[in-house]
Structure 1
Amino acid sequence: MTTTGLLGAALLAGLNVLPVQAAAAPSLPRDGGPAAEVLARQEVLDRLADEITRVPEHERSLVAGYAGHTVDPRHGHLDLYWHGRLPDHVTKVLAAAPTGVTAAVHEASYTLRELRAGRDRLVGAVVRGEAGAVWTSAGPLVDGSALAVGYTPDGGGRHGVATAGEVSARAAAVAGVPVTAVTAAASTAASTRHSDASPWSAGAELTTPGNGWCTSGFGGWRGTTAVLLTASHCGTSGTYRTGAGAVVGTATDSDTGLDTTVIDVNGTPSGKYFDGGWDNGSGYAKRVVGAGRNNVGDLVCASGAMSGIHCSLRITATDVAAEVNGQWRTDLDTATRTDDSTVAVAKGDSGGPVVASVNGGADMQARGIISAGTGNPVVCGSVAAPTTCWDSLRFVPIAPIVSKFGLSLA
C-alpha cells in the first residue's frame, strides 16, 4: 500500500529526524525483554498515536475516516491508515512529530466503523446459529482493507467441513465487506505466585469460587472500596482465596462481555504487579503507573501466576471479537510472542495483568487483563503445574474496564 498524497512528500520527509534518547537501562524481567531505547521509542509513538485519535482504542471507530494504525518501536515508525481526507488536526500532529519518529499515511478502503459493523454482523450470525457461520473470531485488518476471521476446518462441529475460500465467501456475504479467512484454533480460556497478602498485587494466584486456578488483575478503588480484578470466566460470585487458602475477598460485580470480575478485597491494593517467574518467592514486584491505550505494534508484557512474566509480546490486532469457551466477547486485543524461546500465556494465567513500559521499564502502565490463549499450542517450559501454553493471547483492554466499573487504579 502506498503513501497517500494527503500530507505531501515534504511533510513526510520532515519526519525523518534524530533518534530518541534512550532511558536508563531497567532491570529486565526473567525472560528478557526489549532494550530500553526500544521502550523509550514506544512511549513516544504511543503518545503520538493518542494525539491523533484522542480516544481510547475501544472508541476509535467513532473517529470519522480512521481505519487503523501500527507502531514500530524498534525502528521508531508509525503507519496511519485513513479513509478519505485527513483532518487538519492530524496533519498538524504529524507535522510536529517529536524527534526520533518517522510516519507515513496510507489510503484505506474502509473505516474502522464500517469494519466493526461487519464484525458485529458476523458475531450475530453465529449467535443465531445461521448455516455456514463457522468462524470463531473476527476483527479488522489494521490497514482497513478487510476483516480477518478465524475458523476450524471441520467447522467446530457446526455445518460440516469448510475451506478458507468457502468461509471467506460466506462471511463476506454476511459482513458486507471483504473477508480473509485463516484456520485457527478456537480461543481457550487461560484458566500460582502462590501466597499473596494485603496490600494485594496483580499477577498472584487466585483460587476461584469453583476451586479453579486463575490470576489476580490490577488493584484499585471503586469509590471508597478497595477492589481487585480478574477474569469473569474465573467466577462471577463467591469468595476468592490465595493459592495458600487465605481469603482475598468476594466477587461483587462482573461483565461477561468484558470478561471481567470485580472482587471487593479484605485490605488494600498495592499498585504493583508480580514480575519474574511463576515461582517468584521473593515478592519482587513493579509499580503500575496509570492506564494506557493499545496500538498494533506495541510491545507488552503479560504476567500470570501459572507461567510467570512474558515480555516482547507484540500486539497484532485490536477490536477483535472471539468465541471463548462458547461465549462471544468483543473488543479484545491480541498479542503474539516475538521470541520462540518463551510462551505468551498458559492456562491458569486468566485475569492476570498486561502491561507496557512508560519510562524504559522501571515502571509499567496498565494495558489490560488476560482473557484467553490463542494461536498455536507450544511447549510450556517452566510452569507451576501441568497445563497448556500458547504462542498468542487475547486480552481485554483496560480502558473499557475502567469506564464500565468506574475504577481508579491504584
Structure 2
Amino acid sequence: MKVQGTLDAAADRIMTAGKNGNLGSIVINPESRRLLVYWKGEPPSDVRRIANSMSSDLKAEILPAKHSRLELLSSLDVTVKQLAKVGINVTEAAPLSDSSGISVSVLGDLDLAARITSASHPEIPAQIKVGVANSLTREIASSDENFIAPQKTTRIADVPLYWGGALYTYPNPTSVCSTGFGIKQNGLRRMLTAGHCGEDGYVISMPDQSDGVGYVPVGTMSAKDKEHDTILINMPAGDRMYTGGVLSGSSSKVTGAFGTYVGDYVCTSGANSGQHCAGRVSAVDVSMQIQSVQLHGMAVAYGLDDGPMLKSGDSGGPVMQFGLTGVIAKGTITGGGGMLVQCWKNAPSKDCFNKLVFPPITDTLDRYGATLLIENSG
C-alpha cells in the first residue's frame, strides 16, 4: 500500500489545486505506479509542478478531459432531480473516470431516463444502465435484556477511549451499527458514524463491562448530515480502530487520511462482520437513492473476485487502507449492494454485500470543520 499512499498524497495536492477549476478527474493505478490526471484545457503551472515532482519510479500523466469535474457534477445534480420528479429511482449516478460524460443507473423506464438526461444537459454524453437496488446496513439488535458482555475489550464490548469498528446500539438496544473514526471538533473528542444510524439527540449504548449484563449509555448523537450519511457521537473517542474478525480485540493506530480516487484499494472493518480486504474504488462523486434517502458525494467500491465488503450492522464502521505504521482513513460505511456473498470462507450463508458505498473521509472532515484523531494528536 506504500505506492498507493504516495499516489494518493500527490492526488490530494492536485485536487486541492484544481477542484475549483478545470480539473476533470483523477485515477490511481498502483500496479503500474501511475497517477492519471484528466484536465480540461491547459493545466496551471502548480498542477504541472506537482505532477513533475513525482519520484523517478512513479509517473503522473496529465491527459485531456472533455468536461470539468464541476460541469459533470452540475449535470448530475440536475439529472437526478429531474428523474426523481417522474419517480425514477437513481441507484448510482457518477462522472465517468475519464471525464468524458456521466453514467446513470436507474430502476424504471430506461428510455424515459435517457430522454430526460439528454434534455437536462445535451452537451454531456450519458450512459443509461439498469440499476441494482442498494441497502443501508444497520441491523436490528437482540432485545434480550440479559445479554452477557465478554469481560475483555473487543469490538462488541468497547471501553473508553472508544475505538473505530466497535458495536453500538441505538436507541437502547433496538438497532446495531458500528463506530467509525475518532475526530476532534471545537476541541472536543467525537466519533464519526453513519447518519442513517440515528438522529440528533439519540443516546447510543454499548455492552456494560462493569457487570457483564445489559447495555450502558456512552454518548449522544448530533450534527446529522443526511445528504452525505454522517453523524457525530459525542463520546470520548480514541485514535485507534479494531482490526480482524467479529470478536477481535486487535487494533491498529490511525495515522492519517487520504482522499478517495478511482482505482484505490480499500478495506472495511465493521463490527458485525469484521475486517474485509480488499475492494477497489470504481466511482467517486456518486449520487444515489438508497431506501428513499437521497445521497451525494459518495464513493463506490467492489470486493475483488466478488469478495465480501460488509453486512448489515457494519454501517458507520471504518473504510481504510493499511499504511506502513497503521491505517489510513478513507471513509465510513454507508451501505452495500450488488451480490450477496459469504462473509468469510465456509460461512453457512451468503449475507455480505460485495458492493460498498461510503462518504470519503476528507470531505467529511471538511464539512464538520474537524480533524482526525491520530497518535499523539491529543
| TM score, norm. by length of structure 1 | 0.79
Which residues of structure 1 form unaligned runs of 5+?
1-38, 156-161
**Is the Cα contact below 8 Å between 1:43 and 1:357 reproduced in 2?**
no
Q: CA deviation at 1:175?
A: 3.8
Q: Which residue of structure 1 lines up, in the alignment, with residue 337 of structure 2? A: 374
Structure-2 change in CA distance of 1:111 and 1:140 (3 Å): same
* Residue matched to 1:21: none
The corresponding residue for 1:297 is 263
Counterpart residue number, 1:187: 134
Q: 2:237 corresponds to which residue? A: 269
Matched residue, 1:130 = 86
1:240 aligns with 2:204: yes
Higher strand share: 2
Deviation at 1:330, TM superposition (A): 0.6
CA RMSD of aligned residues (A): 2.3
Amino acid at match of 2:14: I
Match of 1:358 in 2: 323
| Counterpart residue number, 2:95 | 140
Which residue does the alignment assign to 1:348? 313
1:151 is matched by which residue type in structure 2? V
TM-score (norm 2): 0.86
Counterpart Cα distance in 2 of 1:338 and 1:145: 26
Shift of 1:368: 1.0
The CA distance in 2 between the partners of 1:333 and 1:73, in whole Å, is: 18
Q: Does residue 255 in structure 1 map to residue 201 in structure 2?
A: no
Q: Which of 210, 228, 246 is the matching residue for 1:278?
A: 246
Partners of 1:353 and 1:368 within 8 A in 2: yes
Instruction: Report the counterpart of residue 13 of structure 2 in structure 1.
Output: 51
C-alpha contact (below 8 Å) 2:82/2:116 kept by paired residues: no
Q: What corresponds to 1:208 in structure 2?
A: 170
C-alpha distance in structure 2 between counterparts of 1:96 and 1:252, whole Å: 42
Give distance in 2, aligned partners of 1:363 and 1:326.
37
Structure 2, unmatched stretches of 5+, are 139-153, 209-214, 374-378
Change (3 A) 1:386 1:347: farther
Measure, in 1, the Cα distance between the counterparts of 2:372 and 2:83: 35
Q: Is structure 2 residue 52 aligned with structure 1 residue 112?
A: no
Q: Secondary structure at the match of 2:340?
A: strand
Aligned positions of 1:307-326 closer than 5 A: 307-326=273-292
Deviation at 1:386, TM superposition (A): 7.5
Distance 1:117 1:383 in 2: 46
Match in the other structure for 1:79: 36
1:307/1:384 contact within 8 Å kept: no
**Partner residue in 1 for 2:358:** 395
CA distance in 2, matches of 1:134, 1:173: 18
- Separation of aligned partners in 2, 1:134 and 1:235: 24
Instruction: For residues 189-234 of structure 1, give each alpha carbon's deviation from its aligned partner in whole angstroms, at most 9, with x where no partner exists.
Output: 0119211111100001111227111111111222243211211111
Change (3 A) 1:149 1:48: same
Q: CA deviation at 1:295?
A: 1.4
SS in 1 for 2:46: helix
> Equivalent pairs: percent with the same residue?
29
Contact 2:91–2:289, Cα closer than 8 Å, also in 1: yes
Cα-to-partner distance string for 1:70-94 (whole Å, 9 max, x where unaligned): 1111221112211111222222222
